[in-house]
């Protein structure tokens, strides 16, 4: 994994905002994090709201001259100052190129969900890493807002083939990190290192062939750069592949995983405690700067939900590992609520998979 820490330019559309708008330094206070700034769409909405406040009482009774004066006064005050606030945006790359005007820069054209076009301009010191980004790859960009402008206020935000750039923002000390995802039962697992902890107790007998097939399909589609491990658990120590560590999805390792899974048969009672501890141990043995996740699959409540929650809380106090929970078959509301809360507390998601899948 690589990470770039640079000053960067982010625009909707593909126009460049003048670097001269950035202040000499950010405010002394720590940048704040706002859910409203968590996406380009959120930032754009806030800026538009600030630009277009509701009409005042008595608007209908004003003369044209009074209305013009009010609008002139409002436009001169500008929008709310978001400088110093932290933003983190997940973007899908459309293309990367090098431009030479108004300066030598790397231009990353991207889109965020659902369809917000973003262009990032980054210094050429990041050239080699950035040019490795491929179309469709996902990156996370974060940084503190150092300056911004709107299309209404800044003539430099010119039309492009994507339309008019609606706003531009300069991020200070930005980090650009590639994001790798693994799809399992329709959930996007966001991590470079993934441990699959799969319930193999006797109650999984009817669902296990489906789970085995889904695992094989998932392993076959793993992207380059992702490492994985398999833990098959019931009430005792989990069964593992021969490597007993994170491995790359090479043809050899995929074949080994297929052979390993063919030997697994559901039996006995279930207790995830030993498997959870081992999952965190396997992840801890991997490289420290890689993103990590555990996918926990089962078919019902744990023998002791509180114990499972305590184990995860103690081993994941810094929330460095995302936890995803897959429940097989119809579940009581309290079980679904518990697993949903468990996943949410640890940066992941939960899903109930109907028996038919």
Residues 197 and 102 in one domain: no
Which of 151, 179, 207 represents a domain boundary (last residue)? 179
Q: With 0.95 as the threshold, say if the pTM is over it.
A: no
Residues 79 and 170 in one domain: yes
Confidence (pLDDT) at 145: 77
Q: What is the pLDDT along the chain (357 residues), one digit of tens a residue?
A: 455 555 555 554 444 443 333 333 323 333 445 667 878 888 877 777 776 655 667 777 888 788 767 666 654 445 567 778 888 888 888 778 887 765 677 777 777 765 667 777 776 777 787 888 877 778 888 778 777 766 666 655 555 554 555 666 677 777 787 778 899 998 889 899 999 999 999 999 999 999 999 999 999 999 888 999 999 999 999 999 999 999 999 999 999 999 999 999 999 999 999 999 999 999 999 998 889 999 999 998 888 999 999 999 999 999 999 999 999 998 899 999 999 999 999 999 999 998 766
Which of 139, 161, 179 represents a domain boundary (last residue)? 179
Residues 139 and 80 in one domain: yes
Tally of domains in the chain: 2
Burial class (CB in 10 A: 0-12, 13-18, 19+), 105: buried
Whether 340 and 350 have beta carbons less than 8 Å apart is answered as yes
User: What CATH number should be reported for the domain holding residue 330?
Assistant: 3.40.50.410
Confidence (pLDDT) at 294: 98
How far is Cα 229 from Cα 243, in angstroms, rounded to an integer?
9
Question: What range defines the domain where residue 192 resides?
Answer: 181-353
Helix (H, G, I), strand (E, B) or coil at 118: strand
| Signed CA dihedral, 334, 294, 278, 354: sign only | positive
Residues 12 and 107 in one domain: yes
Residues 171 and 192 in one domain: no
User: What CATH number should be reported for the domain holding residue 28?
Assistant: 2.40.50.140
Which of 156, 179, 202 represents a domain boundary (last residue)? 179
Rounded (10°) angle between helices 305-315 and 333-345 = 10
Pairing relation of β-strands 193-199 and 227-233? parallel
How far is Cα 307 from Cα 5, in angstroms, rounded to an integer?
40
Residues 114 and 65 in one domain: yes
Residues 133 and 76 in one domain: yes
Residues 284 and 342 in one domain: yes
Residues 150 and 190 in one domain: no
Residues 95 and 165 in one domain: yes
Residues 290 and 211 in one domain: yes
């Amino acid at each position: 994994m690589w990470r770039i820490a640079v000053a960067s330019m982010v625009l909707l559309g593909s126009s460049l905002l003048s670097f001269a708008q950035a202040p000499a330094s950010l405010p002394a206070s720590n940048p704040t994090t706002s859910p409203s700034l968590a996406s380009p769409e959120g930032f754009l909405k806030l800026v538009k709201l600030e630009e277009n406040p509701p009409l005042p009482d008595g608007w209908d009774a004003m003369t044209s001259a009074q209305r013009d004066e009010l609008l002139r006064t409002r436009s001169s005050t500008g929008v709310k100052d978001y400088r110093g606030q932290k933003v983190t945006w997940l973007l899908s790359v459309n293309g990367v190129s090098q431009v030479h005007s108004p300066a030598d820069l790397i231009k990353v054209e991207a889109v965020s969900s659902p369809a917000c076009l973003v262009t990032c301009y980054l210094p050429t010191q990041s050239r080699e890493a950035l040019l490795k980004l491929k179309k469709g790859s996902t990156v996370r960009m974060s940084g503190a807002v150092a300056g911004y402008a709107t299309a209404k206020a800044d003539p430099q935000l010119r039309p492009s083939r994507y339309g008019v750039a609606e706003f531009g923002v300069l991020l200070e000390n930005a980090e650009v990190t590639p994001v790798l995802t693994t799809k399992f039962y329709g959930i996007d697992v966001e991590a470079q290192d993934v441990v699959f902890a799969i319930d193999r107790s006797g109650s999984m007998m009817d669902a296990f062939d489906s789970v085995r097939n889904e695992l094989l399909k998932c392993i076959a589609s793993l992207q380059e750069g992702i490492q994985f491990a398999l833990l098959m658990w019931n009430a005792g120590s989990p069964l593992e592949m021969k490597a007993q560590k994170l491995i790359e999805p090479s043809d050899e390792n995929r074949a080994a995983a297929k052979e390993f899974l063919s030997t697994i048969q559901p039996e006995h009672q279930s207790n995830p405690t030993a498997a959870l501890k081992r999952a965190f141990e396997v992840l801890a043995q991997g490289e420290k700067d890689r993103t990590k996740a555990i996918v926990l699959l089962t078919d019902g409540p744990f023998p002791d939900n509180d114990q499972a929650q305590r184990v995860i809380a103690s081993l994941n106090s810094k929330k460095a590992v995302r936890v995803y929970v897959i429940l097989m078959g119809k579940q009581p509301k309290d079980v679904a609520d518990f697993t949903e809360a468990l996943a949410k507390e640890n940066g992941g998601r939960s899903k109930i998979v109907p028996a038919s899948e």
